[in-house]
Chain A
Amino acid sequence: MMVGQTPATIADKFIDISNEVCPMSFVLTKLAIEELADGQVLELVCGAGDPVRNISIQLKDEGHTIINVKREGEKHFRLQIRKNN
């Protein structure tokens, strides 16, 4: 079950960065967001711990909104991010 501010939504783009480390994880996320229009949603899967921490902090710093968060087992998080320009 997704836990978020809004009901689970269908994403406009999906990336899996669970095998990437900083800074590539962030660069790939940024590139994916660049392909979206304002208001569109990116869904990504990343590692728990440092990766989800860093991605969340960086996305918030950039002004985007994390609209849904789902923990997938011990090792992964699935996030949905709405692009805000």
Chain B
Amino acid sequence: MGDAKTQPKKTMHITVDHNLDEVVKKKVAVSAEISGKNEKGKIDFHELKSGGFIKQRQKDKFTVRLRCPSGRMEVSKLKQVAESAEKFGGKYVHFTVRQSLEIPYVDYHNFAPLIEELKTVGQDVASCGPRVRVPNACGGCEYNPNGLVDAAKISDAVNVKFFGMRTAHKFKSSFSACPIDCMRTTEADLGMMGAVFPKWDEDKCTGCTICASACTEDAIKAHPETGKPIFTPDNCVYCADCIRACPTFSWTADKTGHNMRVGGRHGRHPLGSTMVARFLTDEEALTAIEATIKWYQKAGEGKGRIRIGEILRQEGQMGSLMEALKTAVGPEKLVKNPEPPTETYVSR
């Protein structure tokens, strides 16, 4: 394990297309055993990192990060990954905090055969670097009863349409199907969260007070005499628990969609993202994501490695993004004059 010498290939060419043309190239001289001969070769470590190959502390060893959009991997792919990891990797695989599966301890001589094996089941290698990263999603409405929207559907579409697009710095997106927000959209460069705004039909209501018990946000209180709900919309976090719990179907969905946040990040200087739009349809969500990425590409030009949240904290930039979103999806669902992202803490 870990040192499998399985017919090293002649070339080190790695066919992973993640807009590598724009990456600053840096060739590093290495000693590589190619086709059984000891030869001096050159490997572009920057290119490797862009392609999801991450240098380890250990000599000649790399961690190979696999592309797992929405945190899912078909069982057929998983079987091949397990087989290849056993052959080329170490004793374990690692699940990254962003739902990717990594194979550590891969000798760089084995990149080509490893990629070849993974390709037989359609498993791609992920990316790193300044670009749109693999989107994350929760289980969503497909099997999680709390899910209000199909988060994985949007996430998969982002993976197909926008993955790998070059940006000033990394651009991480995550998608939660409900306000429990398992995917931590407040920490993402772009996050979307399923949301439902409820409406109440008095005729169907029996005043049973279950909705007031179901609401954990103080948005619904039961009238002390009739038991009927007193709704405070400002407290509502759009979870739809009232709708789901109501025995008489007097609470129903008024508006359903994706609430969109922009500008979050974690790391050494975390930022809390800011809400920019509410109740976007699937189609509007993708239009708004595209508009945001394009805005970030333009706004980040010439600014070096800067996250979208940091740009938004600069004078006038929040308004500029909102203008771009207004052009893309219209003004109705946009938050009016949102505040820029805010610092959550600094690690010092």
Main secondary structure on B side of the interface with A: loop
Per the bound structure, the CA–CA distance linking A77 and B244 in Å amounts to 17
CB contact list, B98-143 vs A, under 8 A:
none
Q: List chain B residues, Cβ under 8 A from A67.
A: 247
Q: List chain B residues, Cβ under 8 A from A69.
A: 206, 208-210, 247
Within the complex, the shortest CB–CB distance from B204 to chain A, in Å, comes to 9
Per the bound structure, the CA–CA distance linking A66 and B244 in Å amounts to 12
Contact A56 B227 (CB under 8 A): no
Sort chain B's interface into a size bin: 10 to 19
- Asked if A40 lies at the interface with its beta carbon under 8 angstroms from chain B, I say no
Q: Give the number of residues in A that approach B within 8 Å (Cβ atoms).
A: 18
Q: List chain A residues, Cβ under 8 A from B209.
A: 69, 71
CB < 8 Å: which of A49, A56, A71 contacts B247?
A56
Contact A3 B145 (CB under 8 A): no
Contact B241 A3 (CB under 8 A): no
Complex interface bits, A42-59 against B, C-beta within 8 A gives 1, otherwise 0: 000000110011001110
Per the bound structure, the CA–CA distance linking A65 and B247 in Å amounts to 7
CB contact list, A1-41 vs B, under 8 A:
3-5
Binding site for A on B (CB under 8 A): 145, 206-210, 213-214, 216, 227, 241, 244-248
- For the complex with contacts A52-B210, A56-B247, 9 further pairs of A-B residues with Cβ separation under 8 Å are A4-B206, A56-B214, A56-B245, A57-B241, A57-B244, A58-B145, A60-B244, A65-B247, A77-B213
